Chains A and B, each alone.
Chain A
Amino acid sequence: MRYWRVPLDAGQVETPGGEVHILVDRCKGCAFCVEYCPRQVLEMSRTFNRKGYHPPEIVASGACVNCGLCEMICPEFAIFCIEAVSSAGNPNGVSTSVGAEAGEARR
């Protein structure tokens, strides 16, 4: 998702952080989650699961905002996200600096 401008309260709002869980052997490789994740957290992997499908893999672990879209759109009940447990300091473990180019996936 790209912002055309940085929201004025970006400094005060805490973006939620999410933790993606993939139930690899349940996946049938449809790629809905990869396509529609608004933060481009996922890519299709090249590995095979037990059934011969390519499950998704997480490529932008810090970017997940726990929106739950992957969980809702997956037809296989193979992926979900939970609220991330944050480390000390920044509540979400992500940078809220607005200097970085807005909209880039946060790594």
Chain B
Amino acid sequence: MTVATNPTGSQEREHPSAPLLRMERIPHVWCPSCGIGTVVKCYATALERSGVDLDKVSVVSGIGCSGRVAGYLKLDGFHTTHGRAIPFATGLKLGRPELLVTVISGDGDLVGIGGNHFIHAARRNIDLLVILINNFIYGMTGGQNAPTTPPGARSSTMPLGNFETPFSLPHLAASSGASYVARWTCLHIRRLTWSIEEAIGKRGFRFIEVIAPCPTLYARLNKLGSGLDAMRFYHDTAEIRNGADTREVDVEFQSPIICGKFVDEERPTFLDLMHDHYSKQLGDRYVPMPPEGGMLHER
């Protein structure tokens, strides 16, 4: 059984995910034992397994640690402004309907500053896959309180402990109208990968929350150890309850995390509804934008 531990510089074999990564930018910026890299690996694997045309996949990220994801994937990538990944992605999708648009960003970005956009895109069932990496904190800026920070947890802007009530993200997504809602942790690599692959094959506003360790900020400020300690915590306390009522999956400080697929219902997307409605109202006069998009071509 041969083993290759590659010495400095000489790499006979590259990592199998390399074709989907911007290898010239690896190693990435994320801290040791941060979970974001794991989510990227699961997403890349799910994409490959799904068999979709990778040229048609666009990844949109916001600002934050998770916002850096778009910069490492070898796909059309957009690193946009804070909180605005979802409307930017909406523009991409509506401007060229054949695109498969994924939004990968963090909790502060997508439901803090981006909260309004989140709920409206879910309400409209815009055809987007949204992977929200939840580390319960604003990491990039140094560890501030987030809309997902559990009660009692410390952060740099709540140094005496959080007294606010956080969102339950699956509940927020489901009650806003998302057609696919799931939550996993970074430990649940296989279920997460399968969930992403399943979601890639569906349409509508698909939301997957991934709980990830933040060793440098959330864990350090709350004396929770390293990312490995966080993973051990997920291992010991996470419960998988597929189909759970999203009203009952709140996350308290160091409480059991309830994971699973909570919502999975096919519903007409924004574009489906638009096409149906205009076809009915206008009949032959309706000229939809072609899937290839609204770009004007030379005649």
Contacts and interface: CB of A to CB of B under 8 A. Distances in A.
Q: In the complex they form, do A and B come into direct contact, defined as C-beta atoms under 8 angstroms apart?
A: yes
B6 to A, nearest CB: 6
A19 interface: yes
Contacts of B8: 24-25, 49-50
A26 B27 contact: yes
A56 B8 CA distance: 14
Nearest to A28: B32
B2 interface: yes
Interface string B175-193: 0000000000011011001
Nearest to B34: A75
Contacts of B277: none
B26 A84 contact: no
A61 B4 CA distance: 10
Contact of B36 (A19, A28, A75, A78): A75
Given A35-B231, A53-B32, A75-B33, A23 B6 contact: yes
Contacts of B13: 21, 82
A24 B11 CA distance: 9
A58 B4 CA distance: 9
A75 to B, nearest CB: 3
A50 B10 CA distance: 13
A76 interface: yes
A19 B38 contact: no
Contacts of A84: 1-2
Interface string B45-89: 100000000000000000000000000000000000000000000
B32 A21 contact: no
B21 A77 contact: yes
Nearest to A84: B1
Contacts, number: 107
B123 interface: no
A77 B227 contact: no
B15 A77 contact: yes
Contacts of A82: 13
A36 B2 CA distance: 21
A76 to B, nearest CB: 6
Interface stretch (A7-15, A64-72, A95-103): A64-72
Nearest to A63: B1
Contacts of A58: 3, 5
Interface of B: 1-9, 11, 13, 15-18, 21, 26-28, 30-38, 40-42, 45, 186-187, 189-190, 193, 226-228, 231-232
Interface of A: 17, 19-26, 28-32, 35-36, 49-51, 53, 57-58, 61-62, 64, 69, 71-78, 80, 82, 84-85, 93-94
11 contacts: A19-B3, A23-B11, A26-B26, A28-B27, A30-B33, A58-B5, A61-B1, A64-B1, A71-B41, A75-B40, A84-B2
10 pairs of A and B residues whose beta carbons are closest in the complex: A75-B37, A28-B32, A30-B33, A72-B189, A75-B38, A61-B1, A77-B15, A58-B3, A61-B3, A62-B1
